[in-house]
Structure 1
Amino acid sequence: MAAQGIGEKLASSVPQALGAREFMIERLILRDNTRELLRENGREDEFESDLLDLTECTCGMDTYDPAKCKCRAREGIMLLAQFYYDTEQYHKAWKWYSKIKDVDLRAMYQLATMGFDEQGPPGFTPDDAYQMMVEIAAKGKDPNCFVVPYAEFHIGKAFFQGFGVAHSEDKAEHWWLLAANGDGHDPVVEAQTALAFYYSRKSSFVYDLKKAWYWHNQAAQRGSLESLGAVGAMSLFGVGTTKNINQAIDYLRQASERGNIYAMGLLVYAYYNRKLYTKATDLAKRVAALDNIDELSRVSCCLPQYIRKGIAIAIFILGRCLELGFGVKKDTEQSALMYKKCFQYDPDACQLLQDYLTHEKI
């Protein structure tokens, strides 16, 4: 296998199943452990009661009409619905979002995302969720309505997954470009990352690593942890961009500090290739000690298979250092155990690194 081919595979932190729900960030309003925080302080019931008080309309209407409400009640309803959503009381969240969905696009957006997450009531179909997103997107580029471009992102995702609508990669690309370009609104980072992944699929007719680099770079600049790790990997191997190890190390270090395990594994690899053996082995030992993949995935929002791949890379390099006595006391027995452990975590990454050993003499 050519070195470029190996590097491209290691740099491609993109699952072929691009539409995997666990990979995409599903929600506009990030959940911040509301339930745990409130329960730790014994205030969940008290907080719910306070929010219920905020939903009481003081406009003097016989029958509440959110379109005519001029007091705080409408915003109170939104806050209460969000509270129920964050505490996973989805049936209550649905009830309260529904009260204001015709006058507040945030509420309609949340109902649609719940539909995509299959958290809606019986009878609410994927097509219903898709139609809601289309209705939101039709509102146009209102700078005060920040959910419109997020709806465009979800419509693109629906087309890619064939969720509520016929599968169409062309239409997915169209909607993601609308969301990602920032025409009249702030660019949607998730759409930029999705486009980068979309162009990274080697089996696809749209395969274009330069476009993948461009969109990963755009998303990384706006805070995407996945894309930050990807630009580090692509810079490290010269995939879609000019090879630049110093720049790669900077990107990978930033991603590692934010919890990207895959980036940590590649950073170990980069240190090794720069002959920074002490740094390589110190970081590799820390990564090798990680084992709770599901928890790491939950905290970092990274795919479990790429967490395993990052750990596997770090373990392989640690094994190589133990074998040669680079940055650590030579121990061939322990080295063999590291190679075996690497294979257990990710056979593909292990084979790629073995090939790299053969072709690049690392």
Structure 2
Amino acid sequence: MMQRVSPVQKNFGLADDELIRHLMLQSGVYKPLSRDDVRLDTDNLDSSQVDNQTVTDNQTNPEFHINQQFKEALSLYESKDFENAYHLFEELADKGLIPGLYYQAIMIYDGKGAEENAAVGFALMQKVYEMSLISPVDVEFRHLACYHLGNACAQGYGTSRSEELAVSWWQRAANEILFDPHKNVEKQVVTDAGVLCQTAMGSYYSRCSKPEGADYTKAFYWHSEAARNGNISSVAQMGMFYLYGLGCQKSSALAHEHLLLAGTRNNICAIGHIALYYLENNMAESAYSWAVRAADIVGNLKGLDAGKVDTIIRQVTSSSANRGDEEDTKRSLAMSLFILGYLYETGRDCVARGRYTAADYYSAASKIDLDAVLFLGNRLKLGRSA
């Protein structure tokens, strides 16, 4: 019952992306200088002389000034002073520095601080990838470039639309962080952006846009790699695969394990499916406790319309635990509301029976995702109050 995922946004959109904050000083070029980086003969110096000497050496070190300029540019960027931030990033890019070029590409692509030009932004991001191939300290930026170039190709924004090219970009980074059991754990290369590419690969293969349909075997493989690397969205997808036997042998125990792990980490996609798991295993109270979380997110059922649904989905999928899972989030919310309707219709131990309350939940579920309602109505053989 996996559904096509929504297309990516038509921008690189990292102004509010917490991932980028983790990268602020990750490049080797921008790591702050510590006292260990400064070679001093400290045997004949007291502590104040060492401190003064360190300050002097920092002030005359070109890398120190680059570091300060980069931090200033980031500060301006995060405070939404995009024009001044762009000029500083452009200066860094002109010096051949990958992080500066990366931000320049983002800002031109998104039209922040510079005239929007998706094609130029795409070309600059390609340059980020090419330059980072010979820079081992900037592997994260290479993988970020792969992720965003893949998204741009999938959307056809700044370049011609091509799912095949999108996959080729994602796979470059995804392959670089594949788990190798023969390697020492400390030598395993894992980047946040590389994991996002693995999840994107899994989502691509679970879609039905290809003539031959979804390839759940490949989807399972890539989501399992991303889940191994800690991506909660992929953990949730693994739970769904095990629950419905998609690309793997059906396993109720493994489905529960993965869905529970994702749900406890606020992945909304997992909630509807774990509520269904508990309901079908005669644990109505547990099903209710999970499904009601979705009701809390939706809020007032009476005022629910398409505009409010879109707002809710955007808010939910802006978090790292639910990144980009628009369609699956809709489905999970609808499933949760439908299950609440089912519980009120049947009057299970956890709630008093109420046909009107059940009808409200069924109606709200239908407004969010009618396909999910039809799926559950058929699976549970109920829903007659809607």
What TM-score comes out, normalization by structure 1 length? 0.78
**Secondary structure of the corresponding residue to residue 298 of structure 1:** coil
**Kindly tell me: are residues 340 and 153 of structure 1, through their superposed partners in 2, closer, same or farther at Cα, counting changes over 3 Å?**
closer
Which of the numbers 19, 30, 36 marks the counterpart of 2:20?
30
State the match for 2:251 in structure 1: 244
Which of the numbers 89, 92, 95 marks the counterpart of 1:100?
92
**Kindly tell me: are residues 141 and 277 of structure 1, through their superposed partners in 2, closer, same or farther at Cα, counting changes over 3 Å?**
farther
Query: CA offsets, 1:66-93, max 9 Å, x none?
Result: xxx6251100011111111122221121
Query: CA offsets, 1:225-259, max 9 Å, x none?
Result: 32222111111111111111211111111211222
| 2:89–2:103 Cα contact (<8 Å) kept | yes
Distance, in Å, in 2 between the alignment partners of 1:23 and 1:280 is 38
Q: Does 1:194 align with 2:178?
A: no
Total equivalences in the alignment:
316
Distance, in Å, in 2 between the alignment partners of 1:185 and 1:112 is 25
| 1:98–1:107 Cα contact (<8 Å) kept | yes
Q: Which moved more, 1:182-191 or 1:99-108?
A: 182-191
Q: Which moved more, 1:182-191 or 1:17-26?
A: 17-26
Q: Does 1:179 align with 2:183?
A: no
**Secondary structure of the corresponding residue to residue 186 of structure 1:** coil
Q: Which moved more, 1:157-166 or 1:97-106?
A: 157-166
State the match for 1:232 in structure 2: 239
Distance, in Å, in 1 between the alignment partners of 2:243 and 2:14 is 26
| 1:156–1:171 Cα contact (<8 Å) kept | yes
Could you tell me which amino acid in structure 2 is paired with residue 186 of structure 1?
V
Distance, in Å, in 1 between the alignment partners of 2:263 and 2:176 is 28
**Secondary structure of the corresponding residue to residue 239 of structure 1:** coil
After TM superposition, list the pairs within 5 Å mapping 1:33-44 onto structure 2: none
Q: Does 1:128 align with 2:135?
A: no
Q: State the percentage of identical aligned residues.
A: 25
Distance, in Å, in 1 between the alignment partners of 2:293 and 2:145 is 40
Q: Which moved more, 1:259-268 or 1:183-192?
A: 183-192
Could you tell me which amino acid in structure 2 is paired with residue 257 of structure 1?
T
C-alpha displacement of 1:25: 7.3
| 1:152–1:178 Cα contact (<8 Å) kept | yes
Could you tell me which amino acid in structure 1 is paired with residue 8 of structure 2?
G
Distance, in Å, in 2 between the alignment partners of 1:298 and 1:213 is 24
Q: CA RMSD in A?
A: 2.9
Could you tell me which amino acid in structure 1 is paired with residue 230 of structure 2?
G
| 2:152–2:159 Cα contact (<8 Å) kept | yes
State the match for 1:261 in structure 2: 268
Distance, in Å, in 2 between the alignment partners of 1:170 and 1:298 is 26
| 1:309–1:346 Cα contact (<8 Å) kept | yes
* Alignment gaps of 5+ in structure 2: 25-54, 178-187, 300-311
Q: Does 1:322 align with 2:311?
A: no
| 2:10–2:152 Cα contact (<8 Å) kept | no
What TM-score comes out, normalization by structure 2 length? 0.73
Could you tell me which amino acid in structure 1 is paired with residue 358 of structure 2?
S
Q: Which moved more, 1:329-338 or 1:221-230?
A: 329-338
| 1:18–1:198 Cα contact (<8 Å) kept | no
**Kindly tell me: are residues 24 and 275 of structure 1, through their superposed partners in 2, closer, same or farther at Cα, counting changes over 3 Å?**
farther
Could you tell me which amino acid in structure 1 is paired with residue 108 of structure 2?
G
C-alpha displacement of 1:189: 1.1
Distance, in Å, in 1 between the alignment partners of 2:360 and 2:71 is 53
State the match for 1:150 in structure 2: 144
Distance, in Å, in 2 between the alignment partners of 1:340 and 1:28 is 36
Query: CA offsets, 1:311-352, max 9 Å, x none?
Result: 221121122222223232333332233222222332221122
**Kindly tell me: are residues 21 and 250 of structure 1, through their superposed partners in 2, closer, same or farther at Cα, counting changes over 3 Å?**
farther
State the match for 2:290 in structure 1: 283
C-alpha displacement of 1:18: 3.3
State the match for 2:223 in structure 1: 216
**Kindly tell me: are residues 104 and 274 of structure 1, through their superposed partners in 2, closer, same or farther at Cα, counting changes over 3 Å?**
same
State the match for 1:38 in structure 2: none
C-alpha displacement of 1:185: 4.8
**Kindly tell me: are residues 114 and 28 of structure 1, through their superposed partners in 2, closer, same or farther at Cα, counting changes over 3 Å?**
farther
**Secondary structure of the corresponding residue to residue 114 of structure 2:** coil
**Kindly tell me: are residues 295 and 99 of structure 1, through their superposed partners in 2, closer, same or farther at Cα, counting changes over 3 Å?**
same
State the match for 2:306 in structure 1: none
C-alpha displacement of 1:100: 1.0
C-alpha displacement of 1:283: 2.0
**Kindly tell me: are residues 176 and 76 of structure 1, through their superposed partners in 2, closer, same or farther at Cα, counting changes over 3 Å?**
same
Distance, in Å, in 1 between the alignment partners of 2:218 and 2:253 is 22
Q: Which moved more, 1:99-108 or 1:164-173?
A: 164-173
| 2:89–2:101 Cα contact (<8 Å) kept | yes
**Kindly tell me: are residues 273 and 141 of structure 1, through their superposed partners in 2, closer, same or farther at Cα, counting changes over 3 Å?**
farther
Could you tell me which amino acid in structure 1 is paired with residue 349 of structure 2?
G
**Kindly tell me: are residues 346 and 28 of structure 1, through their superposed partners in 2, closer, same or farther at Cα, counting changes over 3 Å?**
closer
Q: Does 1:83 align with 2:68?
A: no
Distance, in Å, in 2 between the alignment partners of 1:85 and 1:253 is 37
| 2:105–2:122 Cα contact (<8 Å) kept | yes
C-alpha displacement of 1:180: 0.7
| 2:245–2:251 Cα contact (<8 Å) kept | yes
C-alpha displacement of 1:301: 3.8
